[in-house]
Amino acid sequence: MNISLKILMVLNTLWTPNLGVPRVQIDLAKEFQAMGHKVEKFDLHDAFGQVKPSVLADWTRPSFSVKAKAFVQANAHRFDIIEAIQGKLPFSKEELGFGGLLVARSVGLRALLDEFIKLDNIKWPPKNKKTAIANWLRSLRHKREKPDHLRSFQTCDLINLPNCDELAYVRDFMGEGDKCVVFPLGLSQQRQQQFVREIESAVVRLANKQVVFIGAWGPRKGSRDWSEIIKRVRAQVQEARFLFLGTGFSAEVVLEDINLPSSYGIEIVERYDSEELPRLLSGATVGAFPSYMEGFGLAVLEKLASGLPTVAYDIPGPREMLRYLDEDLRVPAGNVLMFSSQLVKLLKLEEVGYSRLSRRCMEVANLFSWEKIARETLDVYAQKLASIR
């Protein structure tokens, strides 16, 4: 690009690399800035000041999208491109007073999340009144937000999707395929090097027999499957250990949910700084990701960058990366028996085979470079902006 573009990122979370959703735009913003462009953000803090995200706050405070609309209306003249998380700026450019490129970004298509929620309610009906009320409030909130998610796709110039499955859905069921582009997520070269520097030897990793999961604790991420996974793996590899990173809940809550004692080799790290992750993964043996719905699955990419063979449910997002590896690493969603068997297989690998697979994992991670993805993304944005103007 020969000109410096002014870009606004809009997201309804806090702007911190320690959360999954903002990581996407934070990393992309860094790459855009390195290319000489100017990036600003409008996040939860900009909308409401010092507040803690909570279910109660979601219902009692004004809509984030209304706050974002007011900010854009007052500052539209300063930006060439506005990229907003799906549903968070559901207004036409005429309403916003904006003449540049308006992009809606999916970090996990809301329609697919709604499908998981239906499955969740059928497969795991609530066991108590508190859970039933929480599920009802969640469902009510999703219904309230659904029109915003649909309208944000209808009013934008471009829809940025993280995987090909979402493209098929938006094209075939929403009729907005002509607007869509697909760009995966990635890691910067510096971040990839951080993972590589910390990796322990194959001998150490195989001796540790440690299975690692990264992600917030909840049904969508497979929390209800873990009790059986742990018991099945331990039945065949008695010394197996399990590390849960970034659960967002204390060890007591997670262990109660799994209904297993910590003596089963379970370690919970409720929160960690993003810069600590390469060290936390350094001695693990295999990765596990039994998530039922993802936009992409940065947790899978980070484990691959650390040279960790990773077993995941075969869903949109993770399959974008794991399709380059052994098909056995992808398991039908919900098939706990097959999932556990693949973990056991990896834990029992010989050093030569493990080292070969570990190197291949790092090679696959290198395919997902933020530098390359950012350049290609901005090329598309600039071309679309030029056609608008």
Q: How many CB atoms lie within 10 A of CB 15?
A: 17
Contacts of range 260-265, beta carbons closer than 8 Å, 24 or more positions apart: 260/227, 260/230, 260/231, 264/230, 264/231, 264/234, 265/234, 265/239, 265/240, 265/241
pLDDT of residue 270: 96
The two three-digit tokens of residue 157, written as one number? 């110039």
Contacts of 246 (CB under 8 A, 6+ apart): 214, 215, 216, 269, 270, 271, 272
pLDDT of residue 113: 86
Strand partners, 269: 245
Q: What does the alpha-carbon distance between residue 117 and residue 251 come to, in Å, rounded to a whole number?
A: 25
CATH no. for residue 331? 3.40.50.2000
Contact 319, 166 (CB under 8 A): no
- Do 54 and 150 lie in one domain? The reply is yes
- Do 238 and 180 lie in one domain? The reply is no
The two three-digit tokens of residue 346, written as one number? 């990896």
Q: What is the pLDDT of residues 136-181, one digit of tens each?
A: 566 666 666 778 889 999 999 999 999 999 999 999 999 999 999 9
Q: What does the alpha-carbon distance between residue 335 and residue 110 come to, in Å, rounded to a whole number?
A: 24
pLDDT of residue 114: 83
pLDDT of residue 116: 85
- Do 48 and 20 lie in one domain? The reply is yes
- Do 355 and 373 lie in one domain? The reply is no
Q: What does the alpha-carbon distance between residue 278 and residue 132 come to, in Å, rounded to a whole number?
A: 38
pLDDT of residue 119: 77
- Report which residue type is found at 187: L
- Do 109 and 165 lie in one domain? The reply is yes
- Do 202 and 327 lie in one domain? The reply is yes
Q: Residue 250 domain-assigned?
A: yes
Our CA angle for 167, 315, 87, nearest 5°, is 50
User: For the chain, which residues score pLDDT lower than 50?
Assistant: none
pLDDT of residue 117: 81
pLDDT of residue 142: 60
Our count of domains for the chain comes to 2
- Do 136 and 198 lie in one domain? The reply is no
- Do 177 and 203 lie in one domain? The reply is no
Q: Residue 1 domain-assigned?
A: no
Q: What is the pLDDT of residues 172-207, one digit of tens each?
A: 999 999 999 999 999 999 999 999 999 999 999 999
- Do 73 and 179 lie in one domain? The reply is yes
Q: What does the alpha-carbon distance between residue 279 and residue 339 come to, in Å, rounded to a whole number?
A: 26
- Do 95 and 179 lie in one domain? The reply is yes
pLDDT of residue 5: 96
- Do 243 and 145 lie in one domain? The reply is no
- Do 119 and 173 lie in one domain? The reply is yes
Domain holding 271, by residue range, is 189-366
Q: How many CB atoms lie within 10 A of CB 51?
A: 12
